[in-house]
Amino acid sequence: MLKFFRKNEKLTRWILVVGMTFLMVSWLVFDQSSTFLTQLLEGRSTWATTRDGASFSESDLRRLQQETRVIGMLGDPIVRQLQFDKDPAHWCLLSKEAAAAGLVGGAADGQARITKMAAGNNVPEANLIGALCREGGMSPREVFETIAKLNGVERYINLVLSGPTRMSVVRIEQTAASLLNAVSGEVTVLDGVNAKVDVPTPSDAQLAEQLKEYGDQAPGAGKYGFGYKTADRVRLEWLVVPTTSVTAAVESSPALSNIELRKYWIENQAEFAAPQLAATSEGTSFESNRDAVRAKVLTKASADKRAEIAKFISDRLQLSMRGVEQVNGYYTLPTDWNTKQLSLSVLAAEVAQKFSIPQPSVESRTEEWIGVSDVAALPVLGGATTNRFGSQPVAAMQIVQSLREFGGKPTLVAQVAVAGPVLQTALGDIVAFRVTAAEAAAAPASVDAAREALTKDVARMERFEKLETMIADIQKQAADQGLSSVAQAYGTKVEPFTDLRQGEKQFLQYGLKFPGSLPTLGADAGAAKAIVLKAMSLPAGRNIADLPIADRTVVVAAPDKLAILAARIDSVTPMHRGDLAPLLTNDRFKNVAASEMSDGSPLDLFTLEAITERQGFTLANPRPDKDSSASGGADGATEAKDTKAESETKATQS
């Protein structure tokens, strides 16, 4: 064979040329055919279906993904709230329902919105269209059609949400009666703190778990008010020069001599009212105004003396910092600064000696931590301010809040172990203070650091959980023996309540539903609703007080307050008809009424889970990867739905 090719070189070249050409052409043809066929098959394969028989292909999915990128750029509030730009399935189903309602226009509708947006944002329309086309990888017409679909979705949502305006008068009256009927009676509250219920002492493991869950919450900020995070806190000391000391020093000084008083009188006669009788001499006129002149001179001389003392204190404190390096306004203090710094007691002695006044007092809180917010309550210091940082007075607490150790503020430079600016109170007391230590807010480092609070809260939760299991027994005892028996058994008391409503009428007109308050418990919407509905279920036309106690007794849990409520209904005051008239035309109240007649927010109708359930949306090939961009949250919603159904089935079987 090799001999043949060597003898026929020309023929060999032609064979190679033809063979290579054939291979190249076949590779190109079959590769493009393969790609084309793959795309064709993918475009025709089913992505998802709905209950009404609609089917969406993989090609539809790619178009939906492009559309969600476009609508995500618009910053529309409804899009942000419902987040249907994050999931093609969500957008698909919403736009499907809007189209079925006949609310989706054509490309011109979308173009009109873009024109309006461009004008409102003062940008060229062509630039806006170009940006949307690039983001979605679509033509201008496709972008217009996408915006038109968004307009239709918004019309659809607004149409559904406007339903309360078309509610019947009867339904509004019924809801108003439920909200405004006032119930009176007596109640006893069994809470997790005071109720006599034996529970075991919490273990360290329980306390550690409680700390882990609520340790980084401020007291009162977490669920049920749990929280153990310490607030920013400080230790400090302050010096006080009482204004009475300064005034007394001025009164005994030459500043109030007869010569100084006459001098002031001569120079400032216009400040004083003329005497009732005409003055015949200068001496007579001065003597008639002597007390007023003395008061003026004393006020001015005292203010000048206070300013002199404040300047001395400020200069003395600044002088004590000489030689200490500063970086960005903060001092770099040496490690032994506590022994080198100017003691406030020494400063107090210097002030007393220089100005001949009693030695100023020095208050110290260096052995205990004080919350920053509690600085305002400290004697004298809490009410002292300075104008050093601008026209508005700055209080001591604000300076402490601005410590570098708490993050600092560029407009209020303050740090630990460096005295702040000299302050004055409204009475004229002079105050110099220094923070000696600071500790930023933090979760307790260990259970022991908050053991008392942790033990109290865990026991509170356990008492409530035990009381919850005893609701039936409490109900029976209250019905058979009365509330007093329940109160005595659990160490609580019976208290009256009057005119309890689900919603206070002065707030309903503004679309706000604030329930009435119950003794001990306070305002609790669930408890108020249970009592009012129980009262409305009682036979009409009869005196409620004549009904058996068992019929008008209700026991209900108030989980948000970790308490059990036992109430007896004694009377019901129906809604006043005069209160109803203005509510019938009040759209804010109608929204409250609509919320009462439905579970949750009206917008919950358009969540992915709700619309998936409503449409019977099912993926043809659910992907195991929940983060897949192709399926987005649809897989998650479908799996959640399947899990829920499976749980319900197991519960039914058991």
Encoding tokens for residue 479?
């019905």
- The residue assigned the tokens 């009482």 is 242
d(CA 439, CA 371): 10
> By percentage, how much of the chain surpasses pLDDT 70?
83
**Same domain membership, residue 525 and residue 492:** yes
**Same domain membership, residue 407 and residue 281:** yes
d(CA 464, CA 458): 10
Please tell me the predicted confidence (pLDDT) of residue 386: 93
DSSP secondary structure letter of residue 271: G
Please tell me the predicted confidence (pLDDT) of residue 209: 92
CA 613 vs CA 204, 253, 529, 627, 640: distances in Å:
45, 90, 30, 21, 11
Provide mean pLDDT across the span 464-471.
92
444: left (phi over 0), alpha (psi -120 to 50) or beta: beta
In terms of DSSP H, where are the helices of 268-391? 282-288, 290-320, 337-340, 344-355
Encoding tokens for residue 223?
């669920």
Tell me the pLDDT tens digit for each residue of 550-596.
999 999 999 999 999 999 999 988 877 777 777 776 777 777 776 66
End-to-end CA distance of the chain: 83
**pLDDT surpassing 80 at residue 463:** yes
Four-residue CA torsion sign, 48, 53, 54, 59: positive
Tell me the pLDDT tens digit for each residue of 407-458.
888 888 999 999 999 999 999 999 999 999 999 988 888 999 899 999 999 9
User: 222 in a domain, yes or no?
Assistant: no
**Which among 552, 516, 517 has a CA at the least distance from the CA of 534?**
552
CA 286 vs CA 16, 250, 251, 263, 266: distances in Å:
133, 21, 19, 10, 9
Please tell me the predicted confidence (pLDDT) of residue 42: 45
Provide mean pLDDT across the span 310-324.
93
**Same domain membership, residue 499 and residue 421:** no
User: 627 in a domain, yes or no?
Assistant: yes
Number of folded domains that form the chain: 4
Mean model confidence pLDDT for the chain: 83
Tell me the pLDDT tens digit for each residue of 374-399.
999 999 999 999 988 877 899 999 99
User: 355 in a domain, yes or no?
Assistant: yes
User: 172 in a domain, yes or no?
Assistant: no
Please tell me the predicted confidence (pLDDT) of residue 496: 95
Alpha carbons within 13 A on the beta-carbon side of 121: 14
Q: Decide which of 573, 591, 616 is a domain's last residue.
A: 573
d(CA 599, CA 269): 79
Is the pLDDT higher at 409 or at 172? 409
Please tell me the predicted confidence (pLDDT) of residue 452: 92
The band of 184, judged by pLDDT with boundaries at 50, 70 and 90, is: very high
The band of 67, judged by pLDDT with boundaries at 50, 70 and 90, is: very high
Is the pLDDT higher at 132 or at 290? 132
**pLDDT surpassing 80 at residue 349:** yes
The band of 178, judged by pLDDT with boundaries at 50, 70 and 90, is: confident
**Same domain membership, residue 430 and residue 343:** yes
Please tell me the predicted confidence (pLDDT) of residue 633: 47
Cβ-based burial of 509 (10 A; exposed 0-12, middle 13-18, buried ≥19): middle
Contacts of 408 (CB under 8 A, 6+ apart): 330, 402, 414
Please tell me the predicted confidence (pLDDT) of residue 277: 42
Note whether 183 and 535 are within 8 A (CB): yes
Q: Whole domain around residue 350: which residue ranges?
A: 234-439
**Same domain membership, residue 343 and residue 312:** yes
User: 301 in a domain, yes or no?
Assistant: yes
d(CA 244, CA 8): 128
Contacts of 261 (CB under 8 A, 6+ apart): 286, 290, 293, 294, 297
**Same domain membership, residue 244 and residue 186:** no
Angle (nearest 5°) at CA 175 between 170 and 179: 145
d(CA 438, CA 234): 4
Cβ-based burial of 455 (10 A; exposed 0-12, middle 13-18, buried ≥19): middle
For residue 53, give the amino acid letter.
G
d(CA 384, CA 431): 7
> By percentage, how much of the chain surpasses pLDDT 90?
45
Angle (nearest 5°) at CA 445 between 447 and 376: 105
**Same domain membership, residue 391 and residue 348:** yes
d(CA 228, CA 441): 10
Q: Decide which of 414, 439, 464 is a domain's last residue.
A: 439
User: 514 in a domain, yes or no?
Assistant: yes
Provide mean pLDDT across the span 289-317.
90
Contacts of 596 (CB under 8 A, 6+ apart): 175, 178, 179
Note whether 567 and 185 are within 8 A (CB): yes
d(CA 622, CA 635): 6
Encoding tokens for residue 652?
């039914």
**Which among 418, 546, 564 has a CA at the least distance from the CA of 487?**
564
Dihedral of CA atoms 502, 503, 505, 511 in degrees, nearest 10, equals -150
E-state strands within 491-615: 495-500, 517-518, 522-523, 553-558, 563-573
Please tell me the predicted confidence (pLDDT) of residue 654: 31
Return the H-helix or E-strand segment holding 6. helix 2-7
- pTM, 2 dp: 0.53
**Same domain membership, residue 561 and residue 627:** no
Please tell me the predicted confidence (pLDDT) of residue 583: 72
**Same domain membership, residue 197 and residue 324:** no
Please tell me the predicted confidence (pLDDT) of residue 631: 42
Note whether 598 and 610 are within 8 A (CB): no
CA 172 vs CA 164, 168, 445, 502, 534: distances in Å:
9, 6, 55, 15, 20
Cβ-based burial of 547 (10 A; exposed 0-12, middle 13-18, buried ≥19): middle
Note whether 466 and 474 are within 8 A (CB): no
The band of 278, judged by pLDDT with boundaries at 50, 70 and 90, is: very low
Provide mean pLDDT across the span 594-608.
68
Note whether 93 and 64 are within 8 A (CB): no
d(CA 220, CA 15): 90
Return the H-helix or E-strand segment holding 331. strand 330-331
Please tell me the predicted confidence (pLDDT) of residue 624: 53
**Same domain membership, residue 298 and residue 268:** yes
Tell me the pLDDT tens digit for each residue of 12-60.
677 776 677 767 666 555 444 444 444 444 445 899 999 888 999 999 9
Tell me the pLDDT tens digit for each residue of 80-105.
888 899 999 999 999 999 998 889 99
For residue 344, give the amino acid letter.
L
d(CA 239, CA 224): 42
Q: Decide which of 553, 573, 593 is a domain's last residue.
A: 573
Query: What is the distance of C-alpha 372 from the center of its chain?
Result: 21
Q: Can you list the pairs that 78-82 forms with residues at least 24 positions away whose Cβ atoms lie under 8 Å?
A: 78/153, 78/154, 78/157, 79/150, 81/603, 82/603, 82/606, 82/607
Please tell me the predicted confidence (pLDDT) of residue 192: 83
User: 446 in a domain, yes or no?
Assistant: no
The band of 542, judged by pLDDT with boundaries at 50, 70 and 90, is: confident
Q: Say whether 470 sits in a helix, a strand or coil.
A: coil
**Same domain membership, residue 59 and residue 24:** no
DSSP secondary structure letter of residue 607: S
Tell me the pLDDT tens digit for each residue of 493-539.
999 999 998 887 778 777 777 888 899 889 998 999 999 989 888 88
Tell me the pLDDT tens digit for each residue of 118-171.
888 888 999 889 889 988 899 999 999 999 999 999 988 887 766 554 555 666
Residue 86 phi/psi, 5° resolution? Answer: -90, -15
Tell me the pLDDT tens digit for each residue of 247-269.
999 888 888 888 888 888 877 77
**Same domain membership, residue 412 and residue 292:** yes
**pLDDT surpassing 90 at residue 231:** no
The band of 222, judged by pLDDT with boundaries at 50, 70 and 90, is: confident
Alpha carbons within 13 A on the beta-carbon side of 234: 29
User: 592 in a domain, yes or no?
Assistant: no
Kindly give the interhelix angle for 140-161 and 58-72, rounded to the nearest 10 degrees: 80
